Chains A and B, each alone.
Chain A
Amino acid sequence: MSGTFVGMPAFPKAAHEAVGNQTLRANLRHATHTIRAKRANAVAEVSDWAELREAGKRIKDHTLRHLDRYLVQLEESVTAAGGIVHWAADADEANRIVADLVKETGESEVVKVKSMATQEIGLNEALEAEGIRAYETDLAELIVQLGKDRPSHILVPAIHRNRGEIRDIFTREMSEWGRPAPEGLTDTPAELADAARLHLREKFLRAKVGVSGANFMVAETGTLVVVESEGNGRMCLTLPETLISVVGIEKIVPTWRDLEVFLQTLPRSSTAERMNPYTSTWTGTTDGDGPGTFHLVLLDNGRTDTLADEVGRQALRCIRCSACLNVCPVYERAGGHAYGSVYPGPIGAILSPQLRGTASEIDASLPYASSLCGACYEVCPVAIDIPEVLVHLRERVVQGGPVTREGNKVVLKPAKGHGAERAAMRAARWAFDRPGALRAGQRLASRTRRLHPRTLPGPGKAWSATRDLPAVPAEPFRDWWQRTNGGTTDEGTAK
């Protein structure tokens, strides 16, 4: 499988293939249902969940509305604490900055903490092109990297793999990357985790450069926060001499105190724990404790374009907890790969088309990768109204209109392939504006109901391939209403 998302087919095609994979569906069902149940318990433990959710939403909204101010404040605080701040407008620039920083150290390998931002910009591939090897150290990311695979979930990137598959990948691939898997490795999770521990430890102990993301950056103090479970994060943040953190500009919170909200909502929402096993914070550099050099790369890469959309900007509140994936009926069946982006599931369906624009087939299809059931909004710990943004983006795809791309205002053309939808909407408006025509059409439809096909012809074929066409009633509702005086005179059926 290719390690890149470029050239992915549109969501309906990718999802159609994924849904046919029985192993994948079983793995996904087990995982999403397990986390879903645990999460509900963890959230029920705190009686002020609604207040915490509202506070999280407001903190993020306030920050986004004054992002320029907080970015400048963060830069000052990090610099004052001994860090070096770099700004990257897009993926290429971020990759070049990191590659140059690594080269300056004279090293040709780095250890990485799982980071969605570096996935998003394709950092590993960019470093490889410069002769630098990047080792993923999160267990799931290691499975993905060794399997030459792509992550399929925000929190548990190898959710699509079961223990047997993981054993096979370790046995086959570990020797290519360093210490081979132990002889006779079984598929028990404890043994597999132990194999990963041994494999990665030699890399941690010799690493001179670490690359990370961050869950939060505190503007007031210049503090960065990484929330994790395994300790690989602590290894990468502590043992190397140089630390390079690539962080999206939306990860800022104004004050130290704001962490009291997110350190309560993030663990419960993501892994369904009262608290994740390890949280590390660092403020610039500390003499003799941790890396002596700290670089922070602030990444835009479509975030300011997203910010320019007054409806869509709420997607930048996301704290990457992944709760929306685990409750989504579409994600549960199609899996993360079908979304063709680093951010899968409901949040991916609104974040990716905003970060990347809707020009490609996959990005234009993502706002449709949802049943609009609203479960994602219900669980979101920062109350992102994902259905609202989905509908907003669908309208943009179909109608086109003004958007911001790479900082410039442009007018988007309506996407191809939605001609039938636009024609249907125009026809509907015409009919609803003309009650007589609507009535005549409805009566005609009722009388010819036995002749209607089971599937739609032409562009409607794809829609009816996976759905039953609604049955046309024997009598239009408005006729029934008139005949029975709103149901008060005669309960009889159609004449």
Chain B
Amino acid sequence: MSSRERILGRVRRALADVPQDDTPYGEAVARDYLREHGARSTEETVELLAENLADYRAVVHRCGADELPSVLARLLTERKAATVLVPPGLDEAWLAEADAARVADRMESGAHELDRVDSVVTACAVAVAETGTIVLDGGPDQGRRRITLVPDHHICVVRVPEQVVSSVPQALERLDPARPLTWISGPSATSDIELDRVEGVHGPRTLEVILVG
């Protein structure tokens, strides 16, 4: 007997007490929890996102669409970034004013190459105001999971208000589980040493979020 059959057999014997007509999934769970916490206007939701991002030590900027290229150029200059990694589908106009040399994310470029890149700029799939979370789904303007992981500086552009939702339930509705997702709430952090929060262990130590719109 294979282990598969053995385990499934054990599960079925263990559940001998469960009646055949047990409550079906659709009725088994009361979903009377909230879809979002509190009523907010669109602007208040964006404001909450900015607050919660900053609370977890992400650096938050706000600008209009026309200002984005100059803001990006300024942030990269302040960081003294000589190279900037760009996902294949990122709007080219965004980096039109930046001096840093563009590095494309090529399939064959290994982790060591990524480690030498100064900064990475991506868009996002959705942002969650209540938790201060940005979610990347590997879309063309966000690139592969590794590019927002290995470089030490990540700038993420969020289009407001259309990419912002209030809550986790609303975010999950918008996301496709078939895609590889990365949820980021503030930069990498640890509390393993006497519960003192320290930013940046393995992921980017600096996360800057630009709310555009």
Please report A residues at the B interface, Cβ cutoff 8 Å.
27, 30-31, 34-35, 45-48, 51-52, 54-55, 58-59, 61-62, 65-68, 71-72, 81, 87-89, 93, 137-140, 143, 156, 158, 162-163, 166, 189-190, 192-193, 196-197, 200-201, 204-205, 218, 221, 223, 229-232, 234-235, 237-239, 249, 254-261, 263-264, 267, 271, 273-283, 286, 288-290, 298, 300, 304-305, 307-308, 310, 313, 404, 407
Q: Kindly state the separation between the CA atoms of A59 and B149 in the bound complex, as whole angstroms.
A: 33
**A34-B195, A197-B201, A229-B191 provided; 14 other pairs, C-beta below 8 A?**
A27-B194, A48-B33, A51-B33, A61-B28, A66-B15, A66-B18, A205-B112, A218-B177, A234-B145, A274-B131, A278-B183, A283-B178, A286-B138, A286-B179
B144 adjacent to A71 (CB under 8 Å): no
Q: Which of B71-127 contact A (CB under 8 A)?
A: 107, 110-112, 115
A193 adjacent to B131 (CB under 8 Å): no
A47 adjacent to B34 (CB under 8 Å): yes
Shortest A115–chain B CB gap in Å is 16
Q: Which of A35, A137, A277 contacts B189 (CB 8 A)?
A: A277
Which residue of chain A has the shortest Cβ distance to B111 in the bound complex? A205
B7 adjacent to A277 (CB under 8 Å): no
B188 adjacent to A158 (CB under 8 Å): no
Report chain B residues within 8 Å CB of A229: 188-191, 201
Which residue of chain A has the shortest Cβ distance to B193 in the bound complex? A189
Q: Which of B37, B145, B172 contacts A238 (CB 8 A)?
A: B145
Report chain B residues within 8 Å CB of A259: 172
Report chain B residues within 8 Å CB of A304: 7, 10-11, 14
Q: Which of A143, A238, A271, A281 contacts B181 (CB 8 A)?
A: A281
Q: Which of B22-76 contact A (CB under 8 A)?
A: 22-23, 25, 28-34, 37, 52, 56
A275 adjacent to B132 (CB under 8 Å): yes
Q: Kindly state the separation between the CA atoms of A254 and B186 in the bound complex, as whole angstroms.
A: 29
Which residue of chain A has the shortest Cβ distance to B6 in the bound complex? A89
Q: Kindly state the separation between the CA atoms of A143 and B6 in the bound complex, as whole angstroms.
A: 38
Report chain B residues within 8 Å CB of A277: 56, 184-189, 203
A230 adjacent to B190 (CB under 8 Å): yes
Instruction: Take A51-B33, A54-B30, A238-B146 as given contacts and tell me if A68 and B11 are in contact as well, using a CB distance cutoff of 8 Å.
Output: yes
A298 adjacent to B194 (CB under 8 Å): no
Report chain B residues within 8 Å CB of A221: 177-178
Q: Kindly state the separation between the CA atoms of A126 and B115 in the bound complex, as whole angstroms.
A: 32
| Cβ contacts A to B, 6 pairs, < 8 Å | A31-B195, A58-B28, A230-B189, A278-B182, A283-B177, A290-B180
Instruction: Take A58-B30, A232-B202, A239-B146 as given contacts and tell me if A35 and B181 are in contact as well, using a CB distance cutoff of 8 Å.
Output: no
Which residue of chain B has the shortest Cβ distance to A306 in the bound complex? B14
The yes or no answer to B160 lying at the interface (CB within 8 A) is no
Interface centre among B34, B130, B189 (most CB of A within 10 A): B189
Interface residue count on the B side (C-beta < 8 Å): 73
Q: Kindly state the separation between the CA atoms of A200 and B172 in the bound complex, as whole angstroms.
A: 33
The yes or no answer to B133 lying at the interface (CB within 8 A) is yes
Which residue of chain A has the shortest Cβ distance to B55 in the bound complex? A274
Report chain A residues within 8 Å CB of B2: 87
Which residue of chain A has the shortest Cβ distance to B32 in the bound complex? A51
B202 adjacent to A200 (CB under 8 Å): yes
Q: Which of A45, A88, A143, A197 contacts B202 (CB 8 A)?
A: A197
Shortest A304–chain B CB gap in Å is 4
B180 adjacent to A276 (CB under 8 Å): no
Q: Kindly state the separation between the CA atoms of A200 and B22 in the bound complex, as whole angstroms.
A: 49
Q: Kindly state the separation between the CA atoms of A93 and B1 in the bound complex, as whole angstroms.
A: 14
Q: Which of B6, B56, B111 contacts A204 (CB 8 A)?
A: B111
Shortest A343–chain B CB gap in Å is 19
Instruction: Take A205-B111, A281-B181, A300-B10 as given contacts and tell me if A156 and B195 are in contact as well, using a CB distance cutoff of 8 Å.
Output: yes
Which residue of chain A has the shortest Cβ distance to B2 in the bound complex? A87
A300 adjacent to B7 (CB under 8 Å): yes
Shortest A111–chain B CB gap in Å is 11
Q: Which of B128-171 contact A (CB under 8 A)?
A: 128, 130-133, 138, 144-146, 149-150, 168-169
Q: Which 10 A-B pairs have the closest CB atoms?
A: A231-B203, A231-B202, A308-B14, A304-B10, A275-B131, A279-B183, A51-B33, A140-B192, A62-B28, A230-B201
Report chain A residues within 8 Å CB of B178: 81, 221, 283
Q: Kindly state the separation between the CA atoms of A105 and B12 in the bound complex, as whole angstroms.
A: 35
Q: Which of A54, A55, A62, A162 contacts B25 (CB 8 A)?
A: A62
A190 adjacent to B198 (CB under 8 Å): yes
Report chain A residues within 8 Å CB of B188: 229-231, 277-278
Report chain B residues within 8 Å CB of A137: 202
B14 adjacent to A201 (CB under 8 Å): no
Which residue of chain B has the shortest Cβ distance to A207 in the bound complex? B111
B180 adjacent to A139 (CB under 8 Å): no
Which residue of chain B has the shortest Cβ distance to A406 in the bound complex? B10
Report chain A residues within 8 Å CB of B25: 62, 66, 254-255
B168 adjacent to A263 (CB under 8 Å): yes
Interface centre among A218, A277, A281, A304 (most CB of B within 10 A): A277
Report chain B residues within 8 Å CB of A237: 145
Report chain A residues within 8 Å CB of B168: 260, 263-264, 275
Q: Which of B145, B169, B172 contacts A280 (CB 8 A)?
A: B145
A143 adjacent to B192 (CB under 8 Å): yes
